A and B are shown apart, each in its own frame.
Chain A
Amino acid sequence: MSRRIIGPFNRVEGDLEVSLDIHEGVVREAKVNASLYRGFEHILKGRPALDALSITPRICGICSVSQSVAASAAVADALGIKPEPNGVIATNLVHAAENLADHLTHFYLFFMPDFARPVYDGKAWFADAQRRFAANAGTGAKAWLEARARLLHVTGILAGKWPHTLAIQPGGLTQSPDDGALMRLRSVLADVRIFMEETLFGQPLERIAELDNRAAWDAAVENGHAAHADFAVFGAAARDLDLESLGRAYPRFMSFGAYHSEGGALFAPGTVEAGELAALDPASFSEDPSHAWLMGGVAHPLEGDTLPYADREGAYSWCKAPRAANQPMEVGAVARQLVAGQPLIRELIGDGAANVFARIVGRLVESARIVLAMERWVVELRSDAPMCAENGTVQEGVGTGLVEAARGSLGHWLRMEKGQIQHYQIIAPTTWNFSPRDGGGVPGPLEKALEGTVVGEDDATPATVQHIVRSFDPCMVCTVH
């Protein structure tokens, strides 16, 4: 038995250290350490209610809009504010732009560069992977960064500044687009579609969005290959390396539902356990700090606190262990699409766990679906309807904001008294996925996914481990808010 510690684990957002106990070249046990503490929940205490909108986006630079949307929803819930429907459409557009940017940034900059590593020299797809995805040099990454800047014009046009906008408020959105702005938005989305159809997929977005079984996926990869599209390299590598056998966590998934509006959510909320769909039950949530450098015991986020205690025995992370009905949950695009009933993802997961392949496919399919939704919303968005409702005069209340960030379920829980924040707790997506063990010793999803991974005897940074860790698209800065 030997122990291998991998860190700094890069191409993830923030600080991560993975410790592996290895026996005969196979991971027997993994421990995931989120190695930074910043204390946002403490910072928020005693502040005026709306200060949450300035502070919480700064938890995370890559999903700051998700934090804004969750904070606004929690404040609106606590103070009984009903947002303007037109403002909600605009907010969903901004949120979708950020989530799409995150998905494809993960694909091009964080995940795929590992397939351009020398360890894969000699593979049929290697030269192609290197040309397109080599870190800081690949043609795909270059094309994506240009398309990404263009896509983020959606945030500029509707929210002024990204990251860290203050445009998203409990009552809606502060920017009122005029007719010209609506056309600029359409123009941006047209360019995004061109990039995704010509460079990423090599085929119409509708085709990717509607993939409904494995044979259809294989055919799409073939089409992509013929069109010299970037995603075909992933398809080839995934088949060759059998990424489907890698990184299996628990057969338990959760989604808070994404892009809520008056008509419901674009992607429905719920849980799936061993293939069975069930309703979401936020009352069953708890956070367990048994293995975190934090004080206290198991508690619901409306009750629990976050107080550092660097000498806690048995602790190995700054991250608490969140549980739903005492169970760890996997969250993210694959969970969201599974809960929402996307047929290909349903087939890939069945009644089992997710894996490296399914997580990436979930993100790619969702990316196509997001663009189609944005194209509809931009037509619905009006240049003559109210954008932002007044906040009213309520000073007390308890509120919950449940949204889906790119990486999965994000929840804000707060209690307000006399217009001030008395209590604020956040559970971020990667807190679920990269949870440490709970009091019962049950590992978090990534820890579980790493168990049994073949790593070889002497590779300091095994490619398999990197694929598994990055397949979750971790956001450590959110984790350790």
Chain B
Amino acid sequence: MRFPLLPHPVSFFSGGWRVRFRNGLKAAVKGKHVTFNILWLQAGSCGGCTMSAITAEDRGMLAALKAFGVNVLWHPALSVETGQEALAILDNVLSGDVVLDALCVEGSVMRGPAGTGKFQMMSGTDRSMAAWISDLAAVARYVVAVGTCSSFGGIPMAGGNHTDACGLQYEGEAPGGLLGRDFVSKGGLPVINVSGCAPHPDWITETLSLLATVGLGPDQLDVSGRPRFFADHLAHHGCSRNEYYEFKASASRVSLLGCLMEHLGCKATQAVGDCNLRSWNGSQGGCPDAGYPCIACTSPEFETPKGAFQETTKRAGIPVGLPVDMPKAWFMALAALSKSATPKRVQTNASSERVIVPPAREGDER
């Protein structure tokens, strides 16, 4: 188990941030910090971000965040208050009687039909969830979009987006969304997009712990507003199919051991996330390790791939989506070269569900 008070890699922090981070951590340990109030709302969601969050650090988000002074004002799945009691909490936040440090929103904002927001009314009120989020975002120090739906719109935008779904500050790739491209919360940041469908639980807890201790600077967010501590990686980094990728020994169908990029739609070389550098529910990596492709769930518009999710879209036999920053010609040349050098072992195992040929030096007796 990871030591709970040490968030993931901090090496990219500039000096000033590092000092503030260390001081924040000391304060957290000594209990000197003030309470950091979060309010969590579920917009047009499946609830999966919350379900992921409560597996965090093998003991759940709330326990993991306790050391950082995080106090949950209300959470739709976890709090005791219901109905009027819950609405009273929201009213206190809106009136300023209770300070809201972070508004966390899970799920897409449903603006339809015809701009009314009626596809999701906040239960017990005559107002749309969209209206509630707008008002609460205006009083929050930080606004955190938990998951790809609230970040970019996500799955409900697929199939022509007939619910007029969007993210808090994006509509797919396009800045805008519910709060608008120029939105900056009281704490001076745009919406912080902890994308992923569902995001890794630790991305959620580590983002909130950072906000509760040293804060996040604009340079700690990537071009799509995602915290760089996970978004500076590609999902490909640490993939257990690495050797098959190197030799372009490809699987012809899911479940086989070969690389999933050439035929099966794997977008791990294009999607951000340290997915394969972390453990997911006790596994050694994420999706490709379990035999199925990365579908780029941390990316805007992942819900509308060019072709089928489990099939690589090709033009003239060449995959359309190549590694993000690699010159195409070089990729093709290296792929051809490595294919011609593929060891028999790698080639055989790539088209099997289990290792058939174990590693051995030439001449070794089995």
Contacts and interface: CB of A to CB of B under 8 A. Distances in A.
A184 B282 CA distance: 10
A186 interface: no
A152 B159 contact: no
Interface string B251-290: 0011100000000000000000000000111110111111
B217 interface: no
A110 B46 CA distance: 17
B287 A152 contact: no
Interface string A38-61: 110011111110110111001111
A172 B125 CA distance: 45
Contacts of A222: none
A10 B72 CA distance: 14
A54 B113 contact: no
Contact of A61 (B45, B122, B293): B45
A304 interface: no
Contact of B290 (A64, A116, A159, A308): A159
Given A38-B44, A61-B47, A109-B77, A160 B283 contact: yes
A318 B353 CA distance: 44
Contacts of A15: 42, 120, 123
Nearest to B116: A310
Interface string B39-79: 00010111111111011001110110000000010011111
Interface string A12-41: 011111000000000000000101111100
A358 interface: no
B46 A166 contact: no
Nearest to A307: B162
Contacts of B155: 43, 55, 58
Contacts of A391: 253
B55 A477 contact: no
Contacts of B310: 50-51, 53-54, 166
A43 B124 contact: no
Contact of B48 (A17, A116, A163, A388): A163
A158 B108 CA distance: 30
Contact of A11 (B82, B285, B289, B308): B82
B46 A64 contact: yes
A10 B77 contact: yes
A156 B82 contact: no
A145 B58 CA distance: 8
Given A8-B87, A37-B110, A145-B63, A477 B47 contact: yes
A84 to B, nearest CB: 9
A83 to B, nearest CB: 11
Contacts of B295: 54, 166
Nearest to A8: B123
Interface residues of B, number: 80
Contacts of A388: 253-255, 291, 353
B54 A145 contact: yes
B152 interface: no
Nearest to A172: B255
B110 to A, nearest CB: 7
Contact of B287 (A13, A160, A188): A160
Interface residues of A, number: 92
Given A5-B124, A149-B58, A386-B353, A42 B281 contact: no
Contacts of B62: 136
Contacts of A47: 159, 308
Nearest to B52: A163
B49 A160 contact: no
B287 A166 contact: yes
A163 B198 CA distance: 6
Given A59-B46, A62-B47, A161-B286, A134 B82 contact: no
B47 A13 contact: yes
A329 B288 CA distance: 40
B344 interface: no
Interface string A344-380: 0000000000000000000000000000000000000
A383 B162 CA distance: 46
Contacts of B138: none
Contacts of A105: 54
A155 B253 CA distance: 21
Nearest to B81: A10
A7 B132 CA distance: 14
Contacts of B81: 10
A16 B45 CA distance: 13
Given A149-B59, A188-B282, A109 B82 contact: no
Interface stretch (A121-129, A174-182, A203-211, A265-273): A174-182
A169 B156 contact: no
B82 A466 contact: yes
Contacts of A457: none
A160 B295 CA distance: 13
Contacts of A10: 75-77, 79, 81-82, 86
B292 A167 contact: yes
Contact of A477 (B46, B72, B86, B87): B46
A310 B44 contact: no
B229 interface: no
A338 interface: no
B281 A152 contact: yes
A153 B286 CA distance: 12
A39 B156 contact: yes
B329 interface: no
Interface in B114-148: 116, 118-125
B309 interface: yes
A195 interface: no
Interface in A392-426: none
Nearest to A45: B159
B113 A310 contact: yes
Contacts of A136: 62, 72, 78-80
Interface centre among A17, A45, A386 (most CB of B within 10 A): A17
Contacts of A50: 308-311
A38 B108 CA distance: 9
B85 interface: yes
A61 B113 contact: no
Contacts of A116: 80
Interface of B: 42, 44-52, 54-55, 58-60, 62-63, 72, 75-87, 108, 110, 113, 116, 118-125, 155-156, 158-160, 162-163, 165, 197-198, 253-255, 279-283, 285-293, 295, 297, 303, 307-311, 353-354
Given A157-B283, A161-B287, 9 more contacts: A43-B158, A58-B155, A64-B48, A159-B290, A163-B198, A164-B198, A173-B255, A174-B291, A388-B291
10 tightest Cβ-Cβ pairs between the two chains A and B: A61-B48, A160-B290, A7-B124, A7-B123, A156-B281, A174-B291, A153-B282, A156-B283, A43-B159, A388-B255
23 contacts: A8-B123, A13-B47, A15-B120, A35-B120, A36-B120, A38-B44, A48-B307, A51-B310, A64-B46, A134-B80, A149-B55, A149-B281, A160-B291, A161-B281, A162-B281, A163-B48, A163-B51, A163-B52, A163-B198, A165-B292, A172-B255, A175-B291, A390-B253
